[in-house]
Homo-oligomer: A and B are copies of this chain.
Amino acid sequence: MGNTWGKIFRVTTWGESHGPAIGAVLDGVPAQLPLCADDIQHDLDRRCAVGKYATQRHETDRVSILSGIYAGLTLGTPIMLLIPNSDAHSEDYHGWEKFYRPGHGDYTWEQKYGIRDPRGGGRCSARETVGRVAAGAVARKLLRLKAGVEILAWAEQIGRIKADVNRSAVSIELVEDSPWRCPDKAAEMAIRDELEKAASSGDSLGGTVGLVLRNVPAGWGEPICDKLNAMLAQALLSIPAVRGVEFGEGFAAASMRGSDHNDAFCQRDGAVRTLTNHCGGILGGISNGGEIYLRVAFKPTPTIAQTQRTVTREGEEVEFAFKGRHDVCFVPRAVPVVEAMAALVLADCYLLHRACCC
């Protein structure tokens, strides 16, 4: 249970880290949308390992579209996206079925299901996000073509280094220009240092991802349960290692006064706008036509090279240290995942709004 997002634009991902393949099936994608594998490949490539601080698994993920397309257009039928799992070094995980890795889902998944796939964490691996990114690329194209929506994320904090990013000016070019998807040139040296120190000590880092959604029309979101921020929160908290999400001023709003936080309405160019944007583009759970922005917190990668204490399945307390490939900090690679989840939510909101509120 629980592998499907959305009510109309429905995405079910499937696959384990070291199984034969991984992917997603999309139901509810409107017909006649131009779509080909290249539309998806681009985001998959962005998700793959980059830089010396990321895992050295060479994930050259190639997507195949197995259904739902004819003559370059969507048919309105389910779209099956399949990505073979190549370069899976299961031997790196040999012996891992015997104990529970701290910070991972080994113990809880085994408690729930009574069984787990120990090869690379099975479905609890971050590799599972491949299917999300593939599906998100379809959602993103739908949103761009139908509504002009732009979805952009970036690394805002890596370890203890917080970047200074102007969310209204940042662009995909600025983000991708950075080796860590952090569009703050001034922070580059500090981040390199932070990564270097963590790597050299066999440790790992967390961080945050910022996200901005542009050109979302006023009116999206389905109160009161499926408010736009609520749906985004669920989608983002389902990403491995995410520990929190905040919209607009977020936790800082708790310390503000109403007279400071309220965004005054004004009339600009024949449309209602706000003079400030403390609310982050969402009011009462519905988009207000302004820029939507939020921030996602990631814990540090649980896989580290240092020796850790844990217990075996038989209840024996043991020590172990991981020898395989892993990310020092997965925040840079999480950027396209955050974008993908936002795209899935927005695509569903768009179709729901179309159903009920024309």
Contacts and interface: CB of A to CB of B under 8 A. Distances in A.
A27 to B, nearest CB: 5
A51 interface: no
A105 B288 CA distance: 9
Contacts of A167: none
A52 B267 CA distance: 37
Contact of A283 (B104, B203, B257, B304): B104
A144 interface: no
A148 interface: no
A145 interface: no
A300 B253 CA distance: 7
Interface stretch (A6-14, A42-50, A177-185): A6-14
A63 interface: no
Interface residues of A, number: 155
- Considering the complex of A and B, which 7 residue pairs feature the smallest CB-CB distances, nearest first? A105-B284, A2-B222, A244-B246, A2-B226, A204-B258, A355-B355, A234-B234
A309 B266 contact: yes
B108 A288 contact: yes
A311 B265 contact: yes
A352 interface: yes
Contact of A237 (B111, B114, B230): B230
Nearest to A300: B258
Nearest to A124: B284
B352 A356 contact: no
Contacts of A258: 103, 203-205, 300-304, 306
Given A124-B284, A237-B230, A284-B104, A1 B352 contact: yes
